[in-house]
Structure 1
């Protein structure tokens, strides 16, 4: 392929000016085309997110970079950057399943991205009793898998348990043991078209157990952004692109490409 610049084949100043203009136009066109492709992928297929807190430990850590599938639940205005009011509701979607890890827009401002696990479906009744999750009046099976020598980043002791939903789906959750504020709640009834979300780090999560004014409340289906699928990359808090030393000392390669359950 001839890679010689167009303007080099002309004569005099006129040829150079015209060729340079064509080359600049081609560069701009390529950039615009690439940006359009990236925008389409972001809206319809995948979107990356960074985990900013410990509310989904032990399954997602602060500093994890995840990929979210946008097609799993269809599309709403929140699928598009800046949530333009082009249409209401959701189109081309399926409903999330209990146990899915979901990114959604916080209902009280409709712009902050949150990530939690779907616990309650429309029509469900959800309650915490003595630190045990109940769905529709039945305790969710949980088996302690580890409570020895486990602490969080502040040195507080942790208990990890394996919960199994009524549908048979299992995942690990953790808490600080009995006696915490959200260990006992009222019974919540999930309205039609809404979902009840909880963090896997049960005693360190603002979620649907808290009123929408201070926590999350019930999440409308329209606010769903997508389903968390995989951890693409991970490094510990304190790592920085501008500090090359941290690329090696803070990186967590064991978390790369972990599929989320």
Structure 2
């Protein structure tokens, strides 16, 4: 083995291979050239032993397994890999049940405190809404009269029928003056304009004056008086008329307040209104 290491040193110095037939570019000494000829005549081919190794660490490997290609062994090992773990949510039925309960609780909070959808019927809001077939999308953020304006449409518990829900328009808020009765009724009946129907009423604190758009067929504050704000449930923000032919969102439209101007009045309109008083 010492001669082999010496041959490697000579080959590296002269950039030659032990099996190279080229002569070295730098002349060698007599001993180096003799050693070079002797070692280059050796056969360095390595023959593996015919019998497998008897080491205990190699007992589990067979000659057929070592002769198989690399890609075949990888496919064989992939077939015996354990299946991927399941989602922990579906591993136990109690977790799945708990998830459904959380979803139902979230929907309950949204339905009772954010948005709600309910049908409405009756002639009190003609011609704004038909008698039947209308569904109202309401905002529960306006419960108890929060952030209401004159002209908004609200749902409320009817004072003389607490189990029933009514849909009316806000005509007066606390501190506003409203007309008692139906406008123009005393002229057609021939009554004195100074009768009670022509008197003005100031809406008390904590109340709202609610009237339907169809005055002759509406049961509203003209009959049971101002409604406490605690009975107001929600504000109507959209309406639709679903049907099987046109779909669930047929006739969908956002509710617009006709008593609130989108653009502030001009100076000429203000002067004209003051001159007409």
TM bracket (short chain): 0.5 to 0.7
TM-superposition CA deviations, 1:157-188 (whole Å, max 9, x none): xxxxxxxxxxxxxxxxxxxxx67xxxx93534
Q: Higher relative CO (CA 8 A, sep ≥ 6), structure 1 or 2?
A: 1
Tell me whether 1:101 sits opposite 2:144 in the alignment: no
Count of paired positions = 163
Q: Which runs of 5 or more structure 2 residues have no equivalent in the other structure?
A: 1-83, 190-195, 258-277
Tell me whether 1:194 sits opposite 2:207 in the alignment: yes
Among 247, 251, 256, the residue aligned to 2:252: 256
Shift in alpha-carbon separation, 1:229–1:5, aligned structure 2, 3 A: closer
> When the two structures are superposed, what TM-score results if normalisation uses the length of structure 1?
0.52
The within-5 A match list for 1:68-79 is 68-71=138-141, 73=142, 75=143
> When the two structures are superposed, what TM-score results if normalisation uses the length of structure 2?
0.50
Q: Which runs of 5 or more structure 1 residues have no equivalent in the other structure?
A: 7-18, 77-89, 134-177, 212-216, 236-245
RMSD between aligned residues: 3.3
1:199 shift after superposition: 0.4
TM-superposition CA deviations, 1:12-61 (whole Å, max 9, x none): xxxxxxx6xx22x2332232112111111123211112112121122222
Shift in alpha-carbon separation, 1:227–1:202, aligned structure 2, 3 A: same
Which one has the bigger helix percentage? Answer: 2
1:250 shift after superposition: 9.8
* Distance in 2, Cα, partners of 1:28 & 1:260: 43
Which one has the bigger strand percentage? Answer: 1
Pair member with larger Rg? 2
> 2:103 aligns to what?
34
1:128 shift after superposition: 5.5
TM-superposition CA deviations, 1:48-93 (whole Å, max 9, x none): 121121211222222211111122x3x45xxxxxxxxxxxxx8xx4
TM-superposition CA deviations, 1:221-244 (whole Å, max 9, x none): 11111211011x314xxxxxxxxx
Tell me whether 1:234 sits opposite 2:241 in the alignment: yes
